[in-house]
Chains A and B, each alone.
Chain A
Amino acid sequence: MANVLDLKRRIRSVKNTRQITKAMKMVSAAKLRRAQERAVAARPYAQMMASVIRSLMRRIDIYNPKTGEVRHQLLMPREEKNVLLIVVSGDKGFAGAFNSNIIKAAQRFIATENGERGLNVDIETIGRKARDLFRRRYRAAQITRDAEAGDQKPAEELEGMSLDSELEEKPLVRKRGERSAAIEVTGDHPGMLEKLRFDAVAEIGQDIVDRYISGEIDAAYMVFNEFRSVISQRVVVERLVPLAEPPGEHEVAQAEEPSIEERERAGEAALSAGVSLQEPDTHEADEEAQKFGTADVDYIYEQPPEEMLRSLLPRFVATQLYRGMLESVASEHAARMTAMDSASNNASEMIDSLTLTMNRVRQAAITKEIIEIVSGAAAL
């Protein structure tokens, strides 16, 4: 049996762990509050964008009456042969099943698309956790930068310019038929979620649109944690391009709901961390945003509606992506808060049981000593 000193040491170590998990929980709670605010603050823009697109689409024919062609490729679904999956995971662990749920959902998606339907899947990861896993599992795509990048440039010309500015501007190009495996990782963006900026997301959005239009991919999906409230997050797979009909509707291809126990657990954690479960009331703002560009009047269009639509649609993809990432960040903090609350509770339980054992051991030692003394005295 362990002696009192060992047990004391263990209790102290568990106490230290509890202190850390408690601190992490409070930090996550604070970050969650901020992330939640950001996610809510970002809503009006996305909604206004969606409603103005819808209104424009009502006013112009999507199909060109003369040629019968769709005016914008982003609105026209086509047969899927190559699909892109964007996996939004977290950068760090200690968030319970947050990352593994995302990865599981992504793998299931890949299994159905690649295994059952026989499609090629490109993977693009956002967040370190997904990158680490998919990098190990699948091959990285061979991507060259721009057609011209292959040209041999004279050495003196290369020397004159800074290398990274050159790389930045050349668009990524992968020629058709260059695929070396059915499933490939085409890119990753670790550390992006830490300081999420719209312009960085917009670049990814533009890249997706470019790839869709050039025919490299036929659809793009995003798997992320949807944040509905502090106690309810779910993993969803959403289609980014081609755009859903009507735009702004979230086309969910796959979703996983949290169980009731998980919700209860999250509710308790939120309560003890002082995070309000009350959703901020955005109903009025939502309604307001939905009216954007849809007033019942004849608008004067400064530019032809088709042209407006052409520049709005690609940006809308970025907005959707941004929303997904903001929600994922909020979900991550919520998941970490719940996980750390559980860890703190478990540590407390462990301390209780260790203290009990320690007291028993101490009592046993005392009893043993008394018996020794008493029997020693009796033997005299």
Chain B
Amino acid sequence: MADQTQDGKLQVRLVTPDRELVDTAADAVELPGRTGYLEVLYGAAPLLTELGTGLVTIHGGGEGNDRYYVAWGFAEVLPNRVTILAESAEKPEQIDASAAQREYERGQKMWDQAREDPAQYERANELMHDAQARMDAKGGNQ
């Protein structure tokens, strides 16, 4: 690890509740922060952030770019190390587009039926947002 970090490589780990998915050296990593995407390079200032739904892209790790779709997570950025906790992470090619589409429609239906319940609207929004992000991730891959 030490020799990898010397030549300006970031050590990137992606951990899910099931297992450690990725542990690799990379040039840069893009994170879907809750308040917007951010890209981390070697030597970044220490940072803690919550992740929203979106794509984690690991540049220059192993073979080319590695992309993972995550839904909610948490990341710690240190100058030479990025650790990502993700509640779920999947490769974009594994995403089931039709399932995402169905989820989106379900969200829309909830929205229509939410009436005056703000919590219901919020849930519907979340669902649609998540489904939309999945579909985007899938689409971007093709």
Contacts and interface: CB of A to CB of B under 8 A. Distances in A.
Given A165-B109, A302-B49, A52 B87 contact: no
A44 interface: yes
Contacts of A319: 17
A322 B46 contact: no
Interface string B92-110: 0000000000000010011
B78 A45 contact: no
Nearest to A199: B88
Interface residues of A, number: 34
B87 A315 contact: yes
B76 A292 contact: yes
A321 to B, nearest CB: 11
Contact of B35 (A148, A297, A302): A302
A169 B123 contact: yes
Contacts of B106: 165, 169
B17 A42 contact: yes
A303 interface: yes
A254 to B, nearest CB: 26
Most A Cβ at <10 Å: residue of B35, B45, B74, B110: B74
Contacts of B50: 302-303, 307-308, 311
Interface in B92-137: 106, 109-110, 113, 115, 117, 120, 123
Contacts of A311: 50, 72
Interface residues of B, number: 32
A306 to B, nearest CB: 12
A45 B89 CA distance: 13
A295 B15 contact: no
B83 interface: yes
A297 B72 CA distance: 25
Nearest to B106: A165
B33 to A, nearest CB: 6
A319 B109 CA distance: 30
B45 A302 contact: no
A172 to B, nearest CB: 14
Given A52-B74, A202-B87, A299 B18 contact: no
Contacts of B46: 295, 297-300
Contact of A299 (B48, B109, B123): B48
A192 to B, nearest CB: 15
A45 B17 contact: yes
Interface in B20-36: 20, 33-35
A274 to B, nearest CB: 24
A198 to B, nearest CB: 4
Contacts of A243: none
B18 A41 contact: yes
A202 B17 CA distance: 11
Nearest to B120: A169
Given A45-B17, A165-B106, A303-B49, A292 B87 contact: no
Contact of B48 (A45, A199, A202, A293): A293
CB-CB nearest 3 A-B residue pairs: A302-B49, A41-B19, A198-B17
10 contacts: A41-B19, A45-B16, A48-B85, A49-B74, A56-B48, A198-B87, A297-B78, A300-B48, A302-B50, A311-B72
